Amino acid sequence: MLTRRDFIAGTAGVVGAVVIARPGWAQTAAPPTTDLKTLIAVGLDAARAAGASWADVRFERIRQQMLRSEDDHIVQSGDSESWGVGIRAIVDGAWGFSATWHTDADAIAQAARDAVAIGRANAKIVGRKVVLAPTSKAIGKWSSPFEIDPFTVPLGERVDALLTGARAALAVTGAKLKVRGSLHFTSQEKTIGNSEGAYFEQRNLRGQPMLDISAIDLKSGQFESGNTDSLVPAAQVGFESLRGRRFEEAGVRAAEETIKRLGAQPVEAGTYDLVIAPSNLWLTIHESIGHPTELDRMLGYEANFAGTSFAKLSDLGKLKYGSPLVNVVADRTQKHALATVGWDDDGQPGDKWDLIKKGLFVGVQTTREQASWIHQKHGHAGDYAESWSAVPFQRMPNVSLQPGTKKLTPDELIADTKRGIYVEGRGSWSIDHQRYNFQFGGQQFRMIENGKLTRPLRYVAYQSNSVDFWRSLDALCDARDYFVGGALNDGKGEPVQSNPVSHGCVTSRFRGVRVINVRA
């Protein structure tokens, strides 16, 4: 068994080798002029001839669009495009990886030989041999769904769409407003072939328009902030998300809600029942369930970005992670969700599986390689690299709390709550280095008194730990209330890579949660 000390000593050499071979995005050549299938064959043949027992060649084209605004004018605009190829090889049971921004046959053959050389060197220091779980041969094409490709939309139309939302927010009266806008789209196109005969193409198109709003009471000097994140969430979607009045209406609502919080009563610290809207709860799922159930964190192999995990393999089938109402799935198939794929970078098809079932901890996040670590016959679609210059490793799928099976609306749930706080919107958060003790804020808070929403509150944060919190859940709304939030930039690893991921949930009630006043 590889110890943590051995792992850290070994990966120091692995990461050092990978970093040497990892060029920056700024160093990118023109698109390949030769058929990709031919170039992939060149790389696979070179890796095989150099001694690889398994290899893959991953071509990527990454395009990005970005707009930023301040109040009613554009302050930044930029489009970028990057082409390159990453090659992995297994040699003597160890990984090697190399990448190049040159896309001619000679450069690809050399990158393949470099990957083999790095794998051979790593085999001398890494204890555990790489074993890939079997999977079906990945052949075909897949694209995330969209109606309007933003990369075909003229700049002027994109500018108008962003500024229309910003100006609508600025027109709201009641306080001095500052509105910062952003519009991001990323197109990630991968073509991958491996020595098992897989050859597949896929495109992930992701984006989000966003308004960040600051409201200032000029008389008192008080200020509040909010955004449209919960109204127009990040998703696998095209420019259709900017058509119509949805973004404009989101800007107005966010401005109005931000202004309402000015002068709101500070919360009195204590224990409350919390009715948490999905616009807030999705981030709590991400931090207290998503990251703790990543196998590499559970085993202590990953500690970047808030540490390892309190969960242990011995907890599977035993740990009461939540109340019997808590059913959480990992899902690479959910339409429009950010982590959905046709196949992961290993050629494993997107799949769906249970992490928590009726409150019991039953599953973990794995890849084809990690399956053998826990003696499972099959892995899951968890291997992902942020770009052609990055090595794939285990990343989070969409992790979602399933709706309740009994009909229940948010209004009915609030009416059934005698004394509590209704929480909406993403706010600040912190969690300890085992993903256990945590604190979450939000954007909007209102007191619940005798089943009715009453006065707004300020400076609210709730504290608990990942197990006690989910065990306290005693009511879930039904599927009509289902909402999918997410982030485009979930960080992990060293060197750091970003992963897009979504989390679905419904309005839920948690009994007896500690609430603090963050300004007290």
CA-to-CA distance for 94 and 128, rounded, in angstroms? Answer: 8
Q: What percent of the chain has pLDDT over 70?
A: 94
Residue type, position 198, single letter:
A
Cα R_g (the chain), whole angstroms: 24
Would the pLDDT of 16 be above 60? no
Q: What's the sign of the alpha-carbon dihedral 17, 20, 21, 22?
A: positive
| DSSP string covering 244-271 | TTHHHHHHHHHHHHHHHHTTPEEPPPEE
The whole-number pLDDT of residue 15 equals 31
Tokens of 130: 């790489």
CA-to-CA distance for 159 and 72, rounded, in angstroms? Answer: 10
Work out the pLDDT band at 27, boundaries 50, 70, 90.
low
Work out the pLDDT band at 467, boundaries 50, 70, 90.
very high
Tokens of 39: 């170039």
The whole-number pLDDT of residue 209 equals 96
Where does 286-325 have alpha helices with state H?
A: 295-298
Count of CB atoms within 10 A of residue 104's CB? 15
DSSP code at position 174:
S
At a CB cut-off of 8 Å and minimum separation 6, what does 314 contact? none
The whole-number pLDDT of residue 306 equals 78
CA-to-CA distance for 7 and 2, rounded, in angstroms? Answer: 6
CA-to-CA distance for 271 and 514, rounded, in angstroms? Answer: 4
CA-to-CA distance for 281 and 504, rounded, in angstroms? Answer: 9
Work out the pLDDT band at 32, boundaries 50, 70, 90.
confident
Mean pLDDT throughout 437-452?
97
Work out the pLDDT band at 22, boundaries 50, 70, 90.
very low
User: Whole-number mean pLDDT of the chain?
Assistant: 93
Helix axes 4-20, 105-122, angle to 10 degrees: 160
CA-to-CA distance for 299 and 396, rounded, in angstroms? Answer: 16
pLDDT digits (tens, 9 = 90+) for 233-290: 999 999 999 989 999 999 999 999 999 999 899 999 999 999 999 999 999 999 999 9
Mean pLDDT throughout 363-378?
96
Would the pLDDT of 6 be above 60? no
Helix axes 105-122, 36-50, angle to 10 degrees: 40
Would the pLDDT of 183 be above 60? yes
Mean pLDDT throughout 383-387?
96
CA-to-CA distance for 56 and 200, rounded, in angstroms? Answer: 11
Q: What percent of the chain has pLDDT over 90?
A: 90
Range 188-201 burial, b when 16+ CB lie within 10 A, else e: bbbbbbbbbebbbb
- Asked if 467 and 437 touch (Cβ cutoff 8 Å), the reply is no
Q: Which of 346-350, 389-393, 426-430, 474-478 has the lowest mean pLDDT?
A: 426-430
* Single pTM value for the model: 0.93
Work out the pLDDT band at 305, boundaries 50, 70, 90.
confident
Domain 143-262, CATH number (from 3.30.2290.10, 3.40.50.10490, 1.10.10.10, 3.30.1380.10)? 3.30.2290.10
Phi, psi of 75 (to 5 degrees): -115, -15
The whole-number pLDDT of residue 43 equals 98
The whole-number pLDDT of residue 23 equals 42
The whole-number pLDDT of residue 493 equals 93
pLDDT digits (tens, 9 = 90+) for 217-236: 998 888 999 999 989 999 99
User: Which among 350, 305, 313, 355 has a CA at the least distance from the CA of 495?
Assistant: 305
Work out the pLDDT band at 29, boundaries 50, 70, 90.
low
462: which strand partners?
A: 440, 515
CA-to-CA distance for 429 and 439, rounded, in angstroms? Answer: 6
Q: Which of 1-15, 45-59, 285-299 has the lowest mean pLDDT?
A: 1-15
Work out the pLDDT band at 187, boundaries 50, 70, 90.
very high
Would the pLDDT of 478 be above 90? yes
Domain boundaries, the chain: 1-60+81-133, 143-262, 265-517
At a CB cut-off of 8 Å and minimum separation 6, what does 235 contact? 206, 207, 208, 241, 336, 337, 338, 484, 486, 502
Work out the pLDDT band at 127, boundaries 50, 70, 90.
confident
Mean pLDDT throughout 156-169?
97
CA-to-CA distance for 145 and 206, rounded, in angstroms? Answer: 10
Mean pLDDT throughout 90-101?
97
The whole-number pLDDT of residue 20 equals 34
275: which strand partners?
A: 422, 509
pLDDT digits (tens, 9 = 90+) for 495-512: 999 999 999 999 999 999
Three-state secondary structure call for residue 519: coil
Residue type, position 73, single letter:
H
- Distances 455 to 66, 171, 224, 226 between C-alpha atoms, Å: 39, 25, 17, 18
The distance of Cα 94 from the centroid of its chain, to the nearest Å, equals 28
Mean pLDDT throughout 188-213?
97
- Asked if 397 and 364 touch (Cβ cutoff 8 Å), the reply is no
pLDDT digits (tens, 9 = 90+) for 47-62: 999 999 999 999 999 9
Would the pLDDT of 326 be above 80? yes
Mean pLDDT throughout 94-107?
96
